[in-house]
Structure 1
């Protein structure tokens, strides 16, 4: 049950009740007690709404069947429409805030005909911290956690374990384990927030079901990669692109994203992609080694940070005399490094 500011509530474990004056976080609200007119922080699970802010009385809570330990939120008055049997997460800004400065609410969205049994973890520097667990009815969504934008800088990923259950005869779905990498710079760009069928406001939506292209690439072996490359070279249907370069004043800009370097990644493993990007990095530095004072910005993106770390390692190991620094945050976020030739 959703609890909003202005709702009249009753305490489940104590006598009395009051009105909700403030949403503290995903699990807690501030209640103005009717008896002494003091505000009390109270867990949502210890409250029942007796009258909504709009004056609509609420029916008694049904305690039979599966119960969720966190409040379930529906996007609209209509149920979610099942189309592809998919599960999503969404980062939604809170109403009343500027979209790039708002606290972010993390939702789990169940657009399937199954009940989800889920557990959710924050992942920081490889360690997982359990946040919440529960069940989610078909065609509904639930608020899992709320983050201050600054907290996301310390969060490397959100990790989920999900079981699918459907009463009666049904096809058994495989359990799901999924890690969604956090790229903090995305949350500061209004263009990252898109319109969806699940919310009235724009959100950042990620799909948990289905295979990511990175997972498929990992399955390809080195021999398969070499075979594909030989076939492409023979047929001449796919050729490497020239590195995407731009000149801004005295600064040379090099985009190392793989889709800016080659036409297709089909047949390439993650290791092969990284090797190709590093080779291009070395080629650019060799071409400009005699251009003293030349500034080169390498756009490596954020991702899981592997390419950025490799570039910095190579700079410390092979190009010690060159000066390196983070490129303009305003233009590139955390996704670029500037090298000055010396």
Structure 2
């Protein structure tokens, strides 16, 4: 019998039950009970518990009715990683389609050059489907994820080019706060799949800063360290909402990064603090798409702990 992560099972020969938290092999699984200890057990020694039947991708797909929209939405495809409500060590990957297109999608994982098909199916407009489950504690040995998708619509709109999203997840990708995903009505770590790659032309950026003398606009060389704590940027921060604070911090960060690129600095450090990790996560997202950034890393842990990021520029 084939089991999946998150299923509730009962031992055949013992008075024990729990959730499947690891797939060890075709014949062996790991089951975690109320004591939070994981027990390896043969699949022949457990059985599913009635009333806890696993809802597979096809069942979820049928349960999700397409939502009509007067405006044709062309953007909005996300990967939502949701912690299992029963065992937080297990996470479920959902593909969320907020567009008005139907999607034909495949998920393939690649580990040490060995590829494995994990999901293939159709996802209706304005719906979501679970495509993969795994153990969060095993992140260091997670495979690379490759998602490919084709758009489809009978509405007479221009069909976008196919999607190919490749990601090797790391711990820092899950450092930020989770967000509420309305389509799932759950908290999740969210990753945008159909976001256009940010391409920065350093020469054009430089031209935009250095205007003719008559305009008297000159970009200043930024400091080597930029403190993004809101109290350093605004005196009235007590009266600002969290959304307003994040926007101010991100605007200041982007302006400083652009200035560092124009002045060809070898590196620049952004002090964002630890907090709930939202600012750090947003900064890392933009850095990962910036073709003028060589790499970025935690800056001088002995001075900043994990509250600063050093950006190495090309």
TM-score range, shorter chain: 0.5 to 0.7
Task: Name the structure 1 match of 2:83.
Answer: 93
Q: Does 1:119 align with 2:106?
A: yes
Partner of 2:306: 332
Q: CA deviation at 1:90?
A: 0.5
C-alpha contact 1:89 1:206 (8 A) present in aligned 2: yes
Is the contact between residue 116 and residue 162 of structure 1 (CA under 8 Å) also seen in structure 2?
Answer: yes
Q: Residues 129 and 327 from structure 1, CA distance in 2 versus in 1: closer, same or farther, beyond 3 angstroms?
A: farther
Deviation of 1:187 (Å): 2.5
* Consecutive unaligned residues in structure 1, runs of 5 or more: 8-19, 31-37, 43-51, 56-68, 247-256, 282-298, 312-323, 338-342
Per the alignment, residue 137 of structure 2 pairs with: 150
Q: 1:129 to 1:205 in 2, by over 3 A?
A: same
Q: Is the 8 A contact 2:79 2:190 kept in 1?
A: yes
Kept in 2, the 8 Å contact 1:72–1:142? The answer is no
Distance 1:24 1:73, change over 3 A: farther
Q: Distance in 2 between matches of 1:137 and 1:143?
A: 10
Displacement after TM superposition at 1:157 (Å)? 5.6
Within 5 Å, give how 1:219-234 maps onto structure 2. 220=201, 222-231=202-211
CA contact (8 A) 1:158 1:181 kept: yes
Does the CA contact (< 8 Å) of 2:84 and 2:91 recur in 1? yes
Q: What CA distance in whole angstroms lies between the structure 2 residues aligned with 1:122 and 1:274? A: 41
Residue pair 1:74, 1:141 contacting (<8 A) in 2 also: yes
Between the two proteins, the alignment pairs up a number of residues equal to: 241
Question: For the structure 1 residues 141 and 149, does the alpha-carbon distance in structure 2 shift closer, same or farther, using more than 3 Å as the test?
Answer: same
Moved more, 138-147 or 165-174: 165-174
Tell me the secondary structure at the aligned position of residue 223 of structure 1: helix
The match for 1:53 among 37, 48, 51 is 51
Structure 2 residue aligned with 1:253: none
Aligned to 2:123: 137
SS at match of 2:211: helix
Deviation at 1:148, TM superposition (A): 1.8
Aligned-partner Cα distance in 1 for 2:142–2:5 = 28
Superposed displacement of residue 199, structure 1: 2.1
Please point out which of 82, 87, 96 is paired with 1:109: 96
Give the alignment's TM-score, normalised by structure 1. Answer: 0.50
- Of 292, 295, 303, the match for 1:307: 295
- 1:134-176 deviations in Å (ceiling 9; x for gaps): 1223133222222322332345863322111235855323211
Match of 1:263 in 2: 255
**Residues 175-220 of structure 1, C-alpha deviation per residue, up to 9 Å, x if partnerless?**
112234634134255xx201121223211122212314x2x32xx2
Equivalent position of 1:236 in the other structure: 217
Distance 1:272 1:129, change over 3 A: farther
Provide Cα deviations, 1:216-272, integer angstroms capped at 9, x if missing partner: 32xx2x4323322322985427544443259xxxxxxxxxx9966662666x8xx94
Query: What are the Cα deviations for residues 265-290 of structure 1, in whole angstroms up to 9, with x where unaligned?
Result: 66x8xx948953x2447xxxxxxxxx
TM, length-normalised to structure 2: 0.54
Trace 1:200-215 onto structure 2 (pairs within 5 A).
Answer: 200-212=185-197, 214=198
Measure, in 2, the Cα distance between the counterparts of 1:259 and 1:123.
37
